[in-house]
Chain A
Amino acid sequence: MRYPPSLLNLIRELGKLPGVGPKSAQRLAFYLQKQTSNDIQALADAILDAKDSLQQCKTCFNISEKDQCAVCEDSLRKQNIICVVAEAADLLAIERSGEYSGLYHVLHGNLSPMNGIGPDQLTIKALLTRLDNIDEVILATSTTVEGEATAMYIAKLLSEIEINVSRIAYGLPVGGDLEYADEVTLGRAISNRRAV
């Protein structure tokens, strides 16, 4: 039997989500079918609401409901250190480790020419305008090929100005993504960062 077109469409849309393969998409689609209309409505509303009310912080590009995110608004945080991450999810992972109390900068991706992502597609230029009172920049992109290249690219730009640049010292497996690292490992990685 062939799946009805509406079911196929749902599976296709779910399959576009990160980390969702064809099989999980199918499982999710069948699961959603069994839920009440109210539950489905609540899910759809939550997705749309998040999309409408969330924006990027004007300073660090973290996810936020206001112009300034909670981190940038918090004057008790160290104002002279910036931790550079690829995604807002990585920022949250580092926050959970509790080892870091400085500022962040979210790049919204890593360099990946294959996907048309060069330096201009990331928030690198905006990072360079934030460095006036900054003493240290921590590069906390992942250890994938793309994460390493991104860190190298930014380190090179920063080597021309007087600023300490360090790379997060991962005890993470090669190719590891920050988002999935456990809190203890990540906390240790930040405390053990090394200069580049």
Chain B
Amino acid sequence: MLLSFSQINYRNLKTPKLDFAKGLTAIVGQNASGKTNILEAIYLAYTGEVLARRIDNLIKHDETEAYVSLIIDSGFAQQKIEIGLSSGYKSIRIDSQNMRAVDLAKEFAAVLIRPEDASLVHGSPSKRRAYLDSLLSRLSLRYALLLKEYNRVVEQRNAALKNHTDQSLPIWTQKFLELGSEIMSLRERAIKRIAEIAQETYSEIASDSKELSLSLQSQGKSLEDLYLESKAEEQQRAITVVGPHRDDIKIFLNNYGVQSYGSRGEARTTALALKVAEYQLLKEKQNHAPLLLLDDFSAELDINRRGFILDLASNIPQAIVTGTELAPKYDQFYQLAGGVLGD
């Protein structure tokens, strides 16, 4: 359970410290009052994931460093997570020991649900890959390390493709096929579980009795075949044009693709179902409920989705819910005004 959050120079936050308790904590504030920043900072400390384009964007204007720390009660002991941010660089410490982001995922889990999640469905394929990679990296240390190696191999392979005198290309191709295939099979297994949970959630929220299904674009094909088919394009463009870094999740309702033919409402419900799947899978892996960070519930105007998500938030051990109005049920609340806190 999250006990407290502190920060120095994180964006334009004026709140140095916030205490939390179990149950639902509501944070009320106008738009641009900093409530999203608080949730993103907490999410950063739980996962090591920087949601801004650059680390520098997280540091207050005119400052060179920022700092975020959390105190978490794990049930046995209190642990302290600290994140240091400086130009282009992020450091992670748990109880004063230097750690990697993958070490955070061993013990801590949080899920952030935001209004812009809808772009998971109608945004570019990179959004869906990022969803999959973030989730799988937190579920499996093996996946996290594989992905890091794979991305490096693709980078090296692309450089070898551009330099025609480099004789090492076949080795990079071999490595690319080896690591890429393993990532594809881990993703394929995961997408089945994600689909099961998302489907259940979708029919719980929507009243349309449509069937949600998910699959990888590459499903049923081996990386080797994809690679052989792409050779002409690869030669022409001198980059690796197939593989997990180019894959996509295809989302269907009954038989039509939600990405192209779904309504806005269907897209939003689908995105929410994907986030609930993330929550459930992390919960299964950790054997305890992740912290739920729900950003701006009041932006959700659909009565079914709003009801579902507030229900979820009030029925789990700990949730932090922000909004321009107060959540209907809460255990404690904070009022934010222009980045400043008052009760």
Q: Which residues of A approach B to under 8 Å, CB–CB?
A: 111-114, 116, 118-120, 145-146, 148-149, 152-153, 156, 174-175
Residues of A within 8 A of B159 (CB): 113-114
In the bound complex, residues from chain A placing their C-beta under 8 Å from that of B163 are: 113, 116, 118
Q: Are B149 and A145 in contact (CB under 8 A)?
A: yes
6 contacts between A and B (CB under 8 A): A112-B156, A113-B157, A119-B167, A149-B156, A149-B175, A156-B170
Q: Is B145 part of the binding interface, using a Cβ–Cβ cutoff of 8 Å?
A: yes
Q: Give the contacting residue for A120; candidates B160, B167, B171; CB below 8 A.
A: B167
Contacts of A148 in B (CB 8 A): 175
Q: Is A118 within 8 A of B168, CB to CB? A: yes
A145-B168 in contact given A113-B163, A114-B159, A152-B174 (Cβ < 8 Å): no
The residues of B that contact A152 with a CB separation of less than 8 Å are: 171, 174-175
Q: Report the Cα distance A154→B170, complex, angstroms.
A: 12
* Cα A149 to Cα B172 with chains together (Å): 7
Q: How large is the interface on B (under 10, 10 to 19, 20 to 34, 35 or more residues)?
A: 20 to 34
- The distance in angstroms between the C-alpha atoms of A114 and B171, with both chains bound, is 14
Q: Which residues of A contact B174 (CB under 8 A)?
A: 152
Q: With the chains together, A188 CA to B149 CA distance in Å?
A: 25
Beyond the given pairs A113-B160, A118-B163, A118-B165, 17 more chain A to chain B contacts, judged by CB atoms under 8 angstroms and listed by A's residue number, are A111-B168, A111-B171, A112-B156, A113-B168, A113-B172, A116-B163, A118-B166, A118-B167, A118-B168, A145-B149, A146-B156, A148-B175, A149-B175, A152-B174, A152-B175, A153-B168, A153-B171
How far is A140 from B266 in the complex, measured between Cα atoms in Å?
55
Chain B 129-161 residues near chain A, CB threshold 8 A:
145, 149, 152-153, 155-157, 159-160
The 7 A-B residue pairs with the shortest CB-CB distance, nearest first, are: A113-B159, A118-B166, A113-B160, A114-B159, A145-B152, A153-B171, A111-B168
Q: How far is the CA of A81 from the CA of B165 in the complex (A)?
A: 31
State A100–B245 Cα separation when bound (angstroms). 42
In Å, the complex CA distance between A152 and B171 comes to 7
Neighbouring A residues of B172 by C-beta, 8 Å: 113, 149
CA distance A113 to B168 in the complex (A): 8
Shortest CB-to-CB span from B247 to chain A, Å, is 20
Of residues A111, A113, A175, which shows the largest number of chain B Cβ atoms within 10 Å of its Cβ? A113
By a CB distance below 8 angstroms, the chain B residues around A174 are 145, 149
| Residue in contact with A118 in the complex, picked from B153, B157, B160, CB distance below 8 Å | B160
C-alpha gap A119/B160 in the complex (Å): 11
By the criterion CB–CB under 8 Å, are B145 and A149 in contact?
Answer: no
A116–B159 alpha-carbon span in the complex (Å): 8
The chain A residue with its CB closest to the CB of B162 is A113
